[in-house]
């Protein structure tokens, strides 16, 4: 059907059944610029589907609601837009819970639409009733239950505004069936009533100028400063500003997992990722620093390790939009609350240049002396090799999503995204099953870019059903399964921390290439370096979706590693302890 025909048919259908709450919802979503929804229908959201029928919003029908929400997250993380997901009530809505928690942890802006039983049935244990507002309260930025369809335009507007401003996050709208199904009398202007009423929400964009001046003076005094940057740089869209700031001040930079891509990976100021699996030099630099300048980060335990030993001799500055992050885990002497990009812009108006060239050259020397390493073994494919091949073939230009585990850390080590929104991973929640649907969402948001999901053999099995979705819609995701026949990260902890008692970490999987073929998706398999090289090339040049099963060494570990409870200066390197 042409879009004109669709529009005409839609109008005729609407005229026949009347203008309903669901129509109001779809119109409100369009007003917010929504072009894509990830969802799954059921009894309680059927009026919403009725309103979506023949609309020009692209609805992605997934095979599990968890796939829908991670899809919306990937879409959002790749595009910077608010992701939208739609489920039915009860089990449909509870299937979204993991994704909501994940989005909350990683500050991903989402609007989550859940069907609900009719208002008259709420509280009566009606079929497929679940208290989704109650269940998700601690993992949403805000939530609504709409009781009157006339509130829909205002609620939708507020929800998008709250989701994308300040510190972004998921906002849930619970929509009882009678509300979306209610026929509204024609001839009224339902949109005039969309003025927002959120007096309790005033995110602070503009930092306090005095705080910025205090920080500027502190930077001038510093001898061993370091920039510790994270996902907030990407949310704020200030990767160019942080790059300029580092280059003009000559302060070395380390990034969190969530910040990868926000600073040019080949810049001589860049020391790599910090934290549990950070580089030797990045962790060493943080430990020895006298001024830690934290930008858009949250002092996560996977970054800091044992708090008493985290940057023990440094003064600490924290630039963040969320005032509650300041001092939450670590005492801060120089807080700057506001948009981190805006704060950096103010600092750049009168750039403080510290005297730290000695410090920088010492770190650069160290970084060259202790690079990331692994040992190749003839005839056996090492997981790191696959990531190096991916890096070589894409030059860091592709969007890479990851699942969770060892392969995620190797991707962080060896894949070097050249710009923001090219490395999409579940950081705060560490959700296995995130990466594959997120890749699907990213590929929908950025159809002109190569999208690769680096998956573990176990993680991939958590949402493998979305192969059907990418097949049907011809979404050209390239899944690289780093197949070690283990819950590798669990195995590593058992080896290092549980006396090699490998309880339940050996895990089987199917022949992934055959599974892919069964879904109609190209499946490849590689067992050694030559085959891997060929498979990478073939996968990246293939027009449609593809799954490559890389059969890699079983017992490889991720190094460096700061063992849990240790200080970030005590690292296990591949073959020895750091001094």
Q: Nearer to another protein by C-beta: 326 or 515?
A: 326
Nearer to another protein, 128 or 165 (CB): 165
Closest distance to ligand TPP from the beta carbon of 480 (Å): 11
| Distant-in-sequence, close-in-space partners of 559: CB < 8 Å, separation ≥ 6 | 277, 374, 572, 573, 574
Measure the CA–CA gap between 319 and 310, rounded to whole angstroms: 18
Beta carbons of 529 and 462 less than 8 angstroms apart: no
Q: Which of 375, 541 has the CB closer to ligand TPP?
A: 375
Closest approach of Cβ 466 to ligand TPP, in Å? 15
Q: Which stretch binds another protein (CB under 8 A): 43-51, 325-333, 387-395, 559-567?
A: 325-333
Does position 23 interact with ligand TPP (CB under 6 A)? The reply is no
177 is catalytic: yes
Residue 490 partner contact from ligand TPP, another protein, none using kind-dependent CB cut-offs of 5 to 8 Å? ligand TPP
- Which CB atom, from 323 or from 544, has the smaller least distance to another protein? 323
Q: Are strands 170-176 and 142-145 parallel, antiparallel or unpaired?
A: parallel
d(CA 376, CA 512): 25
- From 5, 13, 30, 127, active-site residue: 127
Per CB under 8 A, 77 contacts another protein: no
Positive or negative, the CA dihedral 196, 46, 102, 436 is negative
- Respond yes or no: is residue 145 known to be catalytic: no
Residues numbered 433 to 452 that lie near ligand TPP (CB under 6 A) are 433
DSSP 8-state class, residue 254: E
Give me the DSSP letters along 142-160.
Answer: EEEE--SGGGHHHHHHHHH
- How many chain residues are in contact with another protein, going by CB under 8 A? 20
Q: Identify the active-site residue in 177, 284, 316, 478.
A: 177
Per DSSP, the residues of 532-557 read HHHHHHHHHH-SS-EEEEEE--SS--
Give Cβ neighbours of residue 201 (< 8 Å, ≥ 6 apart).
142, 162, 166
Q: Which is nearer to another protein, 294 or 438 (CB)?
A: 294
Which of 374, 385, 359, 366 shows the shortest CA–CA distance to 527? 385
Element of type H or E holding 483: strand 477-483
Catalytic residue among 6, 32, 128, 527: 128
Q: Could you list the beta-strand ranges (E) of 107-252.
A: 110-116, 142-145, 170-176, 183-184, 225-229
Among candidate residues 501, 490, 499, 508, the one with its CA nearest the CA of residue 557: 490
Query: Is residue 489 flagged as an active site residue?
Result: yes
Is 461 annotated as catalytic? Answer: no
Task: Please state, in angstroms and rounded to a whole number, the distance separating the CA atoms of residues 315 and 361.
Answer: 21
User: How near is the Cβ of 140 to another protein at its closest, in Å?
Assistant: 10
CA–CA dist 264, 419 (Å, integer):
7
Please confirm, yes or no, whether 128 is among the known catalytic residues.
yes
The reply to whether 213 sits near another protein by the rule CB under 8 A is no
Query: By CB under 6 A, is residue 139 in contact with ligand TPP?
Result: no
| Angle at the Cα of 165 from the Cα atoms of 163 and 170, rounded to 5 degrees | 20
Is 324 a binding residue for another protein by CB under 8 A? The answer is: yes
Residue 76 burial (C-beta neighbours within 10 Å; 0-12, 13-18, 19+): buried
The residue (of 120 and 137) whose beta carbon lies closer to another protein is: 137
Query: Any alpha helices (H) in 80-118, and if so which ranges?
Result: 91-94, 97-105
Binds 488: which of another protein, ligand TPP, none (CB < 5-8 Å by kind): ligand TPP
Instruction: Give the pair of three-digit tokens for residue 59.
Output: 């609805």
124 vs 501, beta carbon nearer another protein:
124
Would you count residue 137 as binding another protein (CB under 8 A)?
A: yes
Closer Cβ to another protein, 110 or 513, answer by number: 110
Residue of 65, 129, 385, 403 with catalytic role:
65
Q: How far is the CB of 307 from another protein (least distance, A)?
A: 13
Beta-bridged to residue 112, according to DSSP, are: 85, 172
324 binds, among another protein, ligand TPP, none (CB under 5 to 8 A by kind): another protein
Catalytic residue among 105, 489, 561, 571: 489
- Give the total of residues touching ligand TPP (CB under 6 A): 20
335: left (phi over 0), alpha (psi -120 to 50) or beta: beta
- Minimum distance between the CB of residue 418 and another protein, rounded to whole angstroms? 34
- Nearer to another protein among residue 134 and residue 378 (C-beta): 134
Q: Is 443 in the site for another protein (CB under 8 A)?
A: no
| Subset of residues 459 to 518 that bind ligand TPP, contact rule: CB under 6 A | 459, 482, 484, 486-490
177 binds, among another protein, ligand TPP, none (CB under 5 to 8 A by kind): none
Tokens in use for 196? 């927002």
Position 135 contacts another protein (CB under 8 A): no
C-alpha closest to that of 386 among 456, 436, 434? 456
> What is the contact mask toward another protein in residues 141 to 180, using x (rule: CB under 8 A)?
xxx-x----------------x------------------
- Under the binding rule (CB under 8 A), the answer on residue 138 touching another protein is yes
Enumerate the active-site residues: 65, 127-128, 177, 489
Residues in contact with ligand TPP by the rule CB under 6 A: 403-407, 430-433, 456-459, 482, 484, 486-490
Q: Which residues bind another protein (CB under 8 A)?
A: 133-134, 137-138, 141-143, 145, 162, 198-201, 322-324, 326-328, 331
């Amino acid at each position: 059907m042409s879009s004109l025909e669709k529009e005409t048919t839609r109008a005729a259908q609407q005229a026949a059944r009347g203008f309903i709450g669901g129509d109001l919802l779809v119109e409100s979503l369009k007003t917010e610029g929504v072009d894509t929804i990830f969802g799954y229908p059921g009894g309680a959201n059927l009026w919403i589907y009725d309103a979506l029928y023949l609309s020009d919003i692209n609805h992605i029908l997934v095979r599990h609601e968890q796939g829908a929400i991670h899809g919306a997250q990937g879409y959002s993380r790749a595009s910077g837009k608010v992701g939208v997901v739609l489920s039915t009530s009860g089990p449909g809505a509870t299937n979204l819970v993991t994704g909501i928690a994940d989005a909350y942890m990683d500050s991903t802006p989402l609007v989550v639409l859940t069907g609900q039983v009719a208002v008259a049935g709420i509280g009566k244990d009606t079929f497929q009733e679940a208290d989704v507002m109650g269940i998700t309260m601690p993992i949403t930025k805000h939530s609504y239950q709409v009781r009157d369809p006339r509130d829909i335009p205002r609620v939708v507007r507020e929800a998008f505004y709250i989701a994308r401003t300040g510190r972004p996050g998921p906002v849930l709208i619970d929509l009882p069936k009678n509300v979306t199904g209610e026929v509204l009398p024609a001839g009224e202007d339902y949109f005039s009533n969309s003025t927002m009423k959120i007096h309790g929400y005033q995110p602070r964009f503009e930092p306090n100028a005095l705080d910025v001046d205090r920080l500027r003076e502190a930077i001038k005094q510093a001898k061993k400063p370091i920039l510790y940057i994270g996902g907030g740089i990407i949310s704020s869209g200030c990767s160019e500003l942080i790059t300029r700031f580092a280059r003009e001040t000559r302060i070395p930079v380390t990034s969190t997992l969530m910040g990868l891509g926000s600073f040019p990976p080949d810049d001589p100021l860049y020391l790599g990722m910090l934290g549990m699996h950070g580089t030797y030099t990045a962790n060493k630099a943080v430990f020895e620093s006298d001024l830690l300048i934290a930008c858009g980060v949250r002092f996560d335990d996977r970054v800091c390790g044992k708090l008493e030993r985290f940057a023990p001799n440094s003064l600490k500055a924290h630039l963040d939009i969320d005032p509650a992050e300041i001092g939450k885990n670590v005492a801060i002497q120089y807080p700057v609350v506001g948009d981190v990009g805006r704060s950096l812009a103010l600092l750049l108006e009168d750039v403080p240049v510290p005297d730290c060239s000695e410090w920088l050259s010492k770190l650069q020397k160290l970084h060259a002396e202790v690079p990331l390493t692994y040992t190749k073994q003839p005839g056996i494919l090492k997981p790191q090799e696959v990531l190096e091949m991916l890096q070589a073939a894409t030059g860091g230009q592709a969007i890479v999503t990851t699942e969770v585990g060892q392969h995620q850390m190797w991707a962080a080590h060896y894949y070097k995204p050249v710009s923001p929104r090219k490395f999409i991973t579940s950081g705060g929640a560490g959700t296995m099953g995130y990466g594959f649907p997120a890749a699907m969402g990213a590929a929908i948001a950025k159809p002109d870019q190569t999208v690769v999901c680096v998956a573990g053999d176990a993680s991939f099995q958590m949402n493998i059903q979305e192969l059907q979705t990418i097949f049907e819609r011809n979404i050209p995701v390239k899944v690289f399964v780093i197949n070690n026949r283990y819950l590798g990260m669990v195995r590593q902890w058992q080896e290092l921390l549980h006396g090699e008692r490998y309880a339940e970490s050996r895990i089987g999987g199917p022949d992934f290439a055959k599974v892919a073929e069964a879904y109609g998706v190209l499946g490849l398999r590689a067992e050694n370096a030559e085959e891997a090289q060929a498979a990478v090339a073939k996968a990246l040049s293939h027009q449609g979706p593809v799954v490559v099963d890389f059969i890699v060494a079983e017992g490889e570990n991720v190094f460096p590693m700061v063992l849990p409870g240790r200080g970030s200066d005590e690292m296990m390197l591949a073959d020895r302890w750091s001094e």
